[in-house]
Every structure is written in structure tokens, then in C-alpha cells.
Amino acid sequence: MTSSLRYPLLFSPIRIGPVTLRNRLVFSAHLTNYAEDGLPTAQHAAYYAARAAGGAGLIITEEHSTHATDWPYEKLIHGYQPAVLPGYRRITAAVHRHGTPIFAQINHNGGQASGMYTRLPVWAPSAVADPLFREVPHAVDEAEIEEIVAGYATVARHCKEGGFDGIELQCSHSSIVRGFLSPATNLRTDRYGGSLEGRARLLLELLQTVREAIGPELAVGVRLCGDELIEGGITIDEAVGVAEMVERQGCADYVNTSIGVATATLYMIEASMHVPPGYASFIPSAMREAVRLPVVGVGRFKDPLQAERALAEGHCDLVGVVRGQIADADFTRKARAGRAESIRLCLSCNQECVGRMGLNRWLGCIENPLTGRESAPLPSAPAEPPAAPSAPATAPAPPARAAPGALRGTRRLVVVGAGPAGLQAAIAAASRGCQVTVLERTGETGGCIRLAARVPNRAEIGDLVRNQLRECAELGVEIELGLEADLEEVLSRKPDAVIVATGSRPAVPPWAAAVPPGKVVDVRAVLEGTAEPSGEVLLVDELGFHQATSVAELLADRGASVEIVTPGMVVGQDLGITLDLEGFMMRSAAKRIACSTDRVVMGVDASGVTLLHHPTGVEETRRVDWIVLAVAPEPEDALYRALKEAAPVCSLQRVGDCVAPRRAHAAVIEGARAGGTV
């Protein structure tokens, strides 16, 4: 079936002011941390160009700052400096090469910032400290407002000179404009505060100024927040009111939307897999009823069908798909070609995209090792992963799918283990022309990921395996299940190369080893279904990620009374990085999961489990029916050692958890590197 039949609305053109888009899919603005010294880099250009080549209808860059008082995170683009121009031209030329329009988002983050980098006071409508940055800002006076407006004009001119097709004013989730619009942060009593008209005054002044600065040839849009999800903040009715004012003024060509405040309710802006797709569609929907301007909808649209449906249901005129195109730059092209099944679906795991942003690291993707390395040169197949690269933002690049390093003559590769590391190694090697066989001990592919996908609302993590299997199938990788590959088995296949990806095995802490078996089990046993803890369950978490919290929810849903204990200061600490912690806190309260921190297990005996509260040295006892362990596993490296001992009959590498048990992104990257250098 052709795309015009499958997704007729998605692939219909649309005009945004002076710009015509070939389809409705927008690669909306998002941070990348690719900037260096305040300037856009070659990586920016390559990153956006890859999505343009992949067919995106419109690309909107990450924000460009409009003023020297604005520098909330280190790798911000300082759009007010003329030095950005060469970088702008490099980006726009690279994107235009594919016939794709590109807009620049311009912004001043206002009070949602600190003086860490500027060593200046932060500027905001009122002296209200932001909940994340925690710095009391300086309430700007009218002269300073004029300076802000002038900054927008300067940056708008830079964008025009730099070849952009349009400009978007971010007024939504982290912006001085949001600060002025929101009654929570605008306490002014002058003409820039009070009524909605007063609070919107700055926005309208900025729009007018930007339009005057760039003339009619470029598109101008605003991104508005439909609900800040904070006390006393903007909600949908006021947001629609603002959209109406914007339309009435006549300077803007479109309205983009968002939900939440970046520094208070980020977990709803970049929602994880726990939040249903299209969750924010009520916002564009309400705006579209009120204004005739084209409206962009966003909110975890992860496949073309969802996007098409949002258009068909009239929620929006365009659909923002960001993470979907981070995971697969060819998202649009594949949808258009009727190959939507081949799209590497985003998991909304937030581990390597969103999760790295807050940590000041370059944007990547758990399942797409090329993301973040679009500009990196291909490595010359080293035997071992090379040492640290000289490029700032990048580690050694795994080879591209259509690898120029394709092999002459066929080589036989045996991969042992069909978890994410093994499958990615198979994909990388097969795409270079290797004949690949994957041997898997169990009856299923996917390793730990399969297990991780079995808990409530975490099924989408399993798309990682689905995506890999799809690629394996397309590349003709053979997968043999239920085969325990020992040394003899591997050697009997006379491989030219072996990649060991045998994963990890649960470890038993010394205190648990003394307990009679049965009532102390690893989370994996629960997920595999070989143990069914019930009654009073103590979940011992030394990992701090989904392993404990998701199994706790699973068991609580089944009626168990669950307590999670951790030696750390926070239960599920790393869920904060993926924006899952807030949701877990709400659900765990509802499910009555007890969370106890700062406690280590000292032992188990007939009287119960002894816990030590280590800050005070106080011991506590828990009487429980089951103990479930989420503790550091051990590498399953016996086969690797055996192969290494055996004469080096072939090239040998190991990848993923059998090197050191870590999270999925490490498995994928190592698999890609190893498969790419067979």
C-alpha cells in the first residue's frame, strides 16, 4: 500500500506563511548539547541534515539565546553573537540540500537559569526563584525589557542572514516570555503584568519586532504552553486567549504547542513510556478551534499512524515527532515509502536523549548508535575499541549501516547471545557483508530487555528487540534459539570471528547465600515467572533503576505488600534522569509501596531480616515472606574465557553485560562497534 493511501493527511503539503512544507512531520526544537563555546557545530549540521535526508517536513533547531544574561546550561547557542553566522549557514545549507525548510527557535530563558556561567544576575519579570535553578532573579525594568526586545531583533536578523526559513519564539516551557505570561511568575503591577493582555504584552512586542526585523519572506511562529501543570500557572483557557491575541496581531504564521514547565514539570514535557501517546493533544485541539493559523501538536507520537490519526481527528495541522526521528532519522522516508514496519521505533525510555541533556552531555539514543555521531568520521576498524577520541562530543563512531567498510569475500561470524548487544553486533556485521549466525541459549531473543518489558507500562522497552529483529531479518541474520553454545559448539561452526554477548547472571550477596533457597529470589526470577512472591515482600535495591521499582509495582498490583529498601538516599534515584521518578512516586503512593532509604541488609535469620540504617547505626528487623533482590549481576564470561584460552583460531570480541553488566545503551554501542570491526 502506498503512503498516500496509508497516511494521506501526513503527506499532504501545507503552507506556513511564506513557506510550503511537503508533509506534516516536524522535527521540533529540542536541546542537543552539541554547541561548543556558544556556537553551533558541524555536528548540528550533520544531525539536522540526517533528519532532512530522512524526509522531515520541517526542522526547527534548538533554541538560540537572545541576550548575554541568558545562559542556563553550558552548551547553549549564543545567537546574539555574530560569530554564530558561519555555523548557521552550515546548518541551513546542509538541510536545504535535501529540500527541507528549517526554522530557528530563538529564546531568552529568563528566570529559568542561574548566573553560573554568566556571573550576572538572572533576569525575570519578578523576583520569583525558579524551583530548579533556585536563584532569585532580578525583576527587569522597562529599559531592560527594551534590551531584551532588541536582543530578539538582533538574533532574528542573524537567523535571516544565516539562511533560516523561519523563526519560532519559544514562549512555552523555559522562557522569559513564559515567565511574563504566567501568573505564577509574573507578579508585576506595571503594564507588563496583571491582566492577560498585560502579561502578553512582551510576547506581542517581541513578535512585532521580530517581524519588522526579518520582513515578510520568513515564517514566524510562537510556541505556547497549554498547561504549565504548576500551581497558579497558565492553563488551557488563557493559553487559547494568547493564541487568539497572536493571531489578531497578524505577525505570526503558525502556533506550536507544548505542555509543562521545563524546570518544574519536565516529566510531562518529555514524557516517558508510562504516559500514553498523544497525551497533550487537547492543547493544539483547543487552539485549533480558536485560531485559523496552522497549529502544531506534540506529545510522544511514535509512529506515523498515531500522527495521521491526530491529523484526522482534527487535533492539529502538523505533528511534532522528535524522539521518533532521533531513534530513526529515516522515520518520514520509511513512512512515505509504505515501510512503516521498518521504522526503528522510539521506546520513550529517555535514557540517552533526555537523560543526557540534564547531565550536560551530548544527545544520543539508546538504540541508534549513530545519533550524536552524525558528523564523526568512520573509524578504521581497530581491533579493540579505540581510546578516547579527540572530538569533544563524541566517542568512537560505530560504522554506518550501509558501511563503506564492506568486506570483500564472505566471513562467517558467530555471535553468542541474542540480547541487545549480540543482536546489534549481528546487525553491524551483517550490514558489512558478514554471514552471521546468532546462537541463543534460551527460547527467546532479547535477553534482559524481554524481561524488562514484562512489567506494567514498560512494554515499549521491548520495541528495542523488535526493532533489532526487524533489522536482522532484513539483513538475513540467522538466529538459532534454545542452543547452549559451549566452546566445542562454537568452534565446530568454523567461524572466522566470534562475538561473545552472553550477558550476565544474577549474583547472590553473601548474606543471602546463607539463607535456605526459595524465599530469596532475584528480580529476574520474578519476571521469568519462576518465582511468585506474595504477602510481605522486601525488595532490596542496589541498582537504583527500573529493576526494583517496576517489579515492586508488578508485585503490588498482584496484591503483595511491598517495601523497597536501598542503601542509597533515594529509592529509584536514576529514574530521575529518565523523568520516571515523579510518576513512580505517584503510583507507589497509590499502590502503598513503602520506600525506605539509607538501609543495608546485614543478615537474615529466623527472626527476620536485619537492616542497618547506616547514618545512625540503628538496626531494624523486618519479618517478611519473600526477599526480592535487585543487586549488581555478574558477567557471564565463561565462554569468553574458554575461547580465549583455546588457541586463537579466530578473531574474538566480547560485548555488553558479559564485559561488565550495564544498561542497554552500552550493549548496543559495543555490539555496533564489535560488529563493525569484525
Partner 1 sequence: MTSLADPLRLGLLTARNRIVFGPHETNLGRRRAISERHVAYYRARAAGGAGLVVTEEASVDGSDWPYERAPLAAECEAGWGEVAAACHAEGALVIAAIGHSGGQGSSAYHQQALLGPSSVPDVVTREIPKAMEAADVEAIVGAFARAAASAVAAGADGVEVSAGQWSLLRQFVSSLTNRRDDRYGADHLLLVEETLASVRAAIPGAVVGLRASCDELAPWAGIVPETAAKHLVRLASYPRGPLFDYVTVVRGSGYATWATRPDAHTPAAFNAELAASIRGALPASVAVVCQGSLVEIDEAEALLSAGKADAVEMTRAQIADPELASKIVSGRRDRVRPCVLCNQLCQVRDVRNPIVACIGEPRSGHETTDPDPLALAAPPAPSVRSAPAAKAVIVVGAGPAGLECARVLAHQAREVVLFEREDSLGGMVTRAAARVPGRERLASLVGWLENECRLAGVTIVSGHELTLEELDMHDGPVVCCTGSRPGRRQYEVVAPGAAVMAADLLAAERLPGAGGPGPAVVWDPAGGPVGVGVAELLAALGDRVVLATPDFVAGAELARSGDLVPANTRLARAGVEVARHSVVRGVDGSGVTVEDRFSGSRQVIAGAVLVDAGYRLPEDSLARALAASLPPGSVQLAGDVVAPRTIHEAILEGRRAALRLAGAR
Positions that interact with partner 1 (CB under 8 A): 73-74, 115-116, 119, 121-122, 127, 129, 131, 134-138, 356, 359-361, 385-390, 392, 395-396, 542-544, 569-570, 573-574, 576, 581-582, 585-586, 589-590, 598, 613, 615-616, 632-635, 659-662, 665-666, 669-670
- In the bound state with partner 1, the residue whose beta carbon lies nearer, of 70 and 670, is 670
**Integer Cα distance of 158 and 213 in angstroms:** 10
Instruction: Give the C-alpha separation, 335 to 7, whole Å.
Output: 8
DSSP secondary structure, 246-270, as one string: HHHHT--SEEEEE-S-TTT-HHHHS
- Residue closer to partner 1 (CB basis): 148 or 242: 148
Query: Minimum CB separation from partner 1 for residue 550, in Å?
Result: 17
- Return the HEC string of 25-61: EEECCCCCCCCECCECCHHHHHHHHHHHHCCCCEEEE
Provide, rounded to whole angstroms, the least separation between the CB of residue 142 and partner 1. 12
Q: One-letter amino acid identity for 28?
A: S
Residue recorded with cell 511534532 = 320
Hey, which residues does 43 pair with through a beta bridge? none
Shortest distance (Å) from residue 133 CB to partner 1: 10
Measured from the CB of residue 178, what is the shortest distance to partner 1 in angstroms? 19
| Closer CB to partner 1, 510 or 516, in the complex | 510
Closest distance to partner 1 from the beta carbon of 417 (Å): 16
For the bound state, the minimum distance from the C-beta of residue 503 to partner 1, rounded and expressed in Å, comes to: 13
Q: Which is nearer to partner 1, 435 or 573 (CB)?
A: 573
Our CB check for partner 1 shows the closer of 10 and 365 to be 365
Q: Which amino acid is at 558?
A: R
Question: Is the CB of 361 or the CB of 441 nearer to partner 1?
Answer: 361
Q: Please tell me the number of Cα atoms within 13 Å of 637 on its side-chain side.
A: 16
> CA 428, CA 345: separation in Å to the nearest integer?
18
Is the distance from CB of 178 to CB of 163 less than 8 angstroms? no
Q: How far is the CB of 358 from partner 1 (least distance, A)?
A: 8
The C-alpha atoms of residue 492 and residue 209 are separated, in whole angstroms, by 74
Half-sphere exposure of 185 (CA within 13 A, CB side): 33
Residue 427: count of CB within 10 angstroms of its CB: 27
Cell of 573: 534515584
Output phi, psi for 2, to 5 deg. -80, 160
Output 283 or 500, the one with its CB closest to partner 1. Answer: 500
Nearer to partner 1, 485 or 668 (CB): 668
CB half-sphere exposure, 39, CA atoms < 13 A: 14
CB 352 → partner 1: shortest distance, Å?
Answer: 10
How far is the C-alpha of 625 from the C-alpha of 512, rounded, in Å? 14
Q: 446: which residues sit within 8 A by CB, 6+ positions away?
A: 418, 419, 420, 423, 453, 462, 464, 465
Q: What is the nearest approach in angstroms of partner 1 to the Cβ of residue 150?
A: 18
Choice between 158 and 665, CB closer to partner 1: 665
All three cell numbers of 60: 526547527
Q: What is the C-alpha to C-alpha distance for residues 118 and 343, in angstroms, rounded to an integer?
A: 42
Phi, psi of 351 (to 5 degrees): -75, -45
- Residue number with CB closer to partner 1 (60 or 631): 631
d(CA 355, CA 665) in angstroms, rounded, equals 12
d(CA 260, CA 264): 8
CB of 566 to partner 1, least distance (A): 10
For partner 1, give the closer residue by CB, 14 or 129.
Answer: 129
**Burial (CB count within 10 angstroms: exposed 0-12, middle 13-18, buried 19+), residue 183:** middle
Least distance (Å) from partner 1 to the CB of residue 653?
13
Rounding to the nearest 10 degrees, give the CA dihedral for residues 608, 609, 610, 611: -140
Query: In whole angstroms, how close is the CB of 40 to partner 1 at the nearest point?
Result: 17
Question: Which three three-digit cell numbers place residue 480?
Answer: 538459532
- In contact, 584 and 545? CB cutoff 8 Å: no
Task: Compute the half-sphere exposure of residue 14: CA atoms within 13 Å on the CB side of its CA.
Answer: 24
- Shortest CB 589 distance to partner 1, Å: 4
Is the distance from CB of 302 to CB of 345 less than 8 angstroms?
Answer: yes
Nearer to partner 1, 153 or 376 (CB): 376
- Residue 615, SS3 per DSSP: coil
- Are 24 and 57 in contact by the 8 Å Cβ rule? The answer is yes
Closer CB to partner 1, 204 or 672, in the complex: 672
Distance (Å, whole) CA 136 – CA 294: 37
Q: Which is nearer to partner 1, 124 or 430 (CB)?
A: 124
CA distance 550 to 548: 6
Decide whether 121 or 276 has the Cβ nearer to partner 1. 121
Q: In the complex, what is the shortest distance from the CB of residue 39 to partner 1, in angstroms, rounded to a whole number?
A: 14
Q: How far is the CB of 626 from partner 1 (least distance, A)?
A: 23
Least distance from partner 1 to the Cβ atom of residue 533, Å: 23
Return the number of the residue (10 or 512) whose C-beta is nearest partner 1. Answer: 512
User: Pick from 357, 345, 373: which is nearest to 669 by CA?
Assistant: 373
